[in-house]
Amino acid sequence: MTAGVTGPDGPDRALSGLDERQREAAVALRGPVRVLAGAGTGKTRVITHRIAHGVDTGAFSPQRVMALTFTTRAAGEMRGRLRALGIDGVQARTFHSAALAQVNYFWPVVAGGESAPPIVPNKVRVLADAAVAARRDLDTATLRDLAADIEWRKVAMISIEAYARLGRPGIGRLGGDDVVELHAAYERLKDERRQLDFEDILLVCAGMMESEPRVARAVHEQYRHFTVDEYQDVSPLQQRLLELWLGSRDDICVVGDASQTIYSFAGADPRFLLEFERRHPDATLVRLERNHRSSDDVLGAANTLMRGRPGALSLVAAGAEAPARMDAEGIAVSVHPTDEAEARDVARSIRTAIDRGARADQFAVLYRLHAQSAMLQTALAAEGVPTTVLGGRRFFDLPEVREAVMMLRGESVARPRGDLVDAVRDVLRSLGQSPEPPDAAGALRDAWEARAAIARLAEAAPPETTLRAFTDDLAARAKDQHEPERQTVTLATLHAAKGLEWDHVRIVGLAEGLLPISYARGIEQADEERRLLYVGLTRARRTASLSWSLRGERGEREPSRFLAELGTRTARAAGAPGSASSRPSAARSHARGPRPPR
């Protein structure tokens, strides 16, 4: 379908399949619009169908639409969904990608033909050089914390002078004055090298819009309609740039969920979402609370956890008339003697489910810190269960995938015609792919699973797809970070799991010091940890389970305060001594197996 031309069902074709509230959001095409979208309520669907409906009805010109989000993966998914709806020409980008494109385009215009400075490839490395120049010997961990502190200062739009007046605490062995000195040393060295960092991209783009009327006019002419996904994660700097892009217009739709604000440490400020009507008194407000993902048990726990929090939504299961009950009665809770015992229990339960017919890719194990993944990987490998760690090497960067794609590209030239599935299987076989996976988990099994994912993509392609078209699709997937599903259990931090979903989710480490993390000492920081648990729970379609251990590397532990908040039975199970098998309620919950959605 050509962009701007309505489909066979007329101008309302993009509205089909939407529920009442989703449709209400999709038809609100003019003026400011705020969509409060709870977990699993179909916010990406609403965003893309609203844009498609705007194009179909002639309200939007696709080339004048900017859809903004926060990750390359999310932007790629948005572009893919728009393509599936027959919409081409919309700019679906991250804030940084959009700003970088404008900086590269306008810099020669405002700087007499000079190209824009290069981007700093590694902020920590530049900071290390600045520290040496300032006669400071800093370890890598301190340098990383300094880099994060610099990023926060810049996205909060705080100058170094204003930062010094804040009286922020030191970092590691560095006092507050030392930290300020290194902020300044970093900026000086970067300027001497004529480089920009990630945050400078936004700052420079905003500066151009403010100081160069011709730049502002050109951007305002190019883009008229703005949509912002995950608006609860916007920083003051991103908000400022968004306002400059908008200018005097008010054609903006923001979509977000304050309960999923988990990046406050990086400058995210949910007040921009919660107080949207203060800046836009005539805004249309739509609430999406009908959850199309999770079971009643999961929704009940999620609603309980966020009850009474600012901006919290009451999630209603699809087909139900009222919010899910406020309890966690159906959530399995287990306590274990040690972290090792907890990891073994997780691995055994998943192995048992797989032996009973479940697929590995239906499971995710989520945790607060990356360091928790190694023990879980070891335990799952001992049970012969393959895993993928989110945040590790990207799928299309894996050597076995790169080799397969290169071979397929060559084969597409040699064999332009023929059956796609047979051609892909032949190439993979030549690379050592066997019909059945290796018996044990490990590097060989990981490589087998990666190549098998390519084979499944070929099997799912339309019958007329050529090998050349297939390799082009692989290249597009690599660019958009649209990775194929692998038949593996996913291990991920709670932060990395945001935006994803699985049938069954295990959340481990529900102990004080882990979740909430030990340095979350204030009320606001503790609330951020609660929101992390909420995000983890709402990743589950069918079942969620929680666990913790009585003893870790640093000694005895106490159960997380969030377990008590989730309800009487949950707190009782969490406080029981010994292993999971000693608690009848938790043992029965595990024995029941996966619960079907109600």
Neighbours of 307 (CB within 10 A): 11
- Say what the pLDDT of residue 492 is: 94
Residue 44 labeled ligand binder: yes
User: Which has the closest alpha carbon to 508: 524, 518, 530, 493?
Assistant: 493
Looking at the predicted structure, is the pLDDT value of residue 326 above 80?
no
- Digit-coded pLDDT (tens) for 341-376: 999 999 999 999 999 999 999 999 999 998 898 899
User: pLDDT by residue (tens digit) across 502-518?
Assistant: 999 999 999 999 999 88
Q: Annotated binding residue at 37?
A: yes
pLDDT given at position 440 = 62
Contact predicate 267/236, CB 8 Å: yes
CB environment 98-120: b (16+ within 10 A), e (fewer)? bbbebbeebbeeeeeeeebbeeb
Q: How far is CA 581 from CA 14, 106, 486, 508, 591, in A?
A: 51, 65, 32, 16, 11
pLDDT greater than 50 at residue 237: yes
Cα maximum dimension of the chain:
75
Predicted confidence (pLDDT) per residue in 511-538, tens digit: 999 999 888 888 889 999 999 999 999 9
Q: In this structure, how many other beta carbons lie within 10 angstroms of the beta carbon of residue 419?
A: 13
Cα→Cα distances 375→41, 85, 90, 369, 380, Å: 34, 43, 44, 12, 9
Per-residue confidence band for 336, with pLDDT thresholds at 50, 70 and 90: very high
Check residue 453 and give its pLDDT. 86
Q: What is the mean pLDDT of the chain?
A: 87
Alpha helices in 490-567 (DSSP H): 523-537, 561-565
Interval 176-204 mean pLDDT: 94
Residues sharing a CB contact under 8 Å with residue 121, sequence separation 6 or more, in sequence order = none
Q: Is 42 annotated as a binding residue?
A: yes
Whether residue 586 has pLDDT greater than 50: no
Residue 72 annotated as part of some ligand binding site:
no
State the pLDDT at residue 580.
Answer: 39
CB proximity list for 355: less than 8 A, separation 6 or greater: none
The per-residue pLDDT for 552 is 79
Whole-number pLDDT of residue 193: 93
Residue 418's pLDDT band, with cuts at 50, 70 and 90, is confident
Lowest mean pLDDT among 51-55, 217-221, 424-428, 545-549: 424-428
**Span 554-571, mean pLDDT?**
81
Please compute the mean of the pLDDT values over residues 35-59 and round it to a whole number: 95
**310-335 b/e (C-beta count within 10 Å ≥ 16 → b):** ebbbbbbbeeeeebbebbbbbbbbbb
pLDDT score recorded for residue 412: 81
Rg value, the chain, Cα: 25
The pLDDT value recorded for residue 6 is: 42
557 φ, ψ (degrees, to nearest 5): -125, 160
Residue pair 52/86 in contact (Cβ under 8 Å)? The answer is yes
Residue 194: which residues within 8 A CB-CB, separation 6 or more? 117, 118
Name the band, by pLDDT with cuts 50, 70 and 90, for residue 7: very low
Gap between the Cα atoms of 426 and 431, Å rounded: 9
38 in a labelled binding site: yes
Inform me whether the pLDDT recorded for 598 exceeds 90.
Answer: no
pLDDT of residue 520: 83
Pick the more confident residue, 48 or 13: 48
Asked whether the predicted pLDDT for residue 583 surpasses 50, the reply is: no
Query: Would you list the DSSP string of 236-279?
Result: HHHHHHHHHHHTT---EEEEE-GGG---GGGT--THHHHTHHHH
Q: How many CA atoms lie within 13 Å of 361's alpha carbon, on the beta-carbon side?
A: 8
In angstroms, rounded to a whole number, what is the distance separating the alpha carbons of residues 339 and 370?
A: 14
CATH number for the domain formed by residue range(s) 332-392+487-591: 3.40.50.300
CA nearest 290: which of 61, 77, 22? 22
Mind listing the pLDDT tens digit for each residue in 456-487? 888 888 888 888 888 888 888 887 777 777 88
- Which residues touch 589 (CB under 8 Å, ≥6 apart)? 330, 331, 332, 333, 545
The answer to whether residue 124 scores a pLDDT higher than 80 is yes
Superfamily of domain 13-18+39-99+202-254+261-283: P-loop containing nucleotide triphosphate hydrolases (3.40.50.300)
pTM of the model: 0.82
Q: What does 339-400 look like in DSSP terms, one character per residue?
A: HHHHHHHHHHHHHHHHHTT--GGGEEEEESSGGGHHHHHHHHHHTT--EEETTSS-GGGSHH
Which residue(s) pair with 559 in the sheet? Answer: 511
Does residue 43 have a known ligand-binding role? yes
- What pLDDT is stored for residue 591 in this prediction? 30
Asked if residues 324 and 293 have their Cβ atoms less than 8 Å apart, the reply is no
Least trusted range by pLDDT, from 189-198, 276-285, 413-422: 413-422
Q: Which helix (H) or strand (E) holds 222?
A: helix 213-222
- At 91, the pLDDT band (50, 70, 90 cuts) reads very high
Task: Name which of 208, 255, 218 is nearest 64 in CA terms.
Answer: 218
Element (H, E) at 95: helix 95-110
Q: Is it the case that residue 269 has pLDDT exceeding 70?
A: yes
Question: Could you tell me the pLDDT band of residue 585, with boundaries at 50, 70 and 90?
Answer: very low
- The distance of Cα 95 from the centroid of its chain, to the nearest Å, equals 15
pLDDT digits (tens, 9 = 90+) for 15-36: 988 999 999 999 999 999 999 9
**pLDDT exceeds 90 at position 181:** yes
Q: With DSSP H G I counted as helix, E B as strand and the rest as coil, what are the percentages for the chain, rounded to 5? A: 50, 15, 35
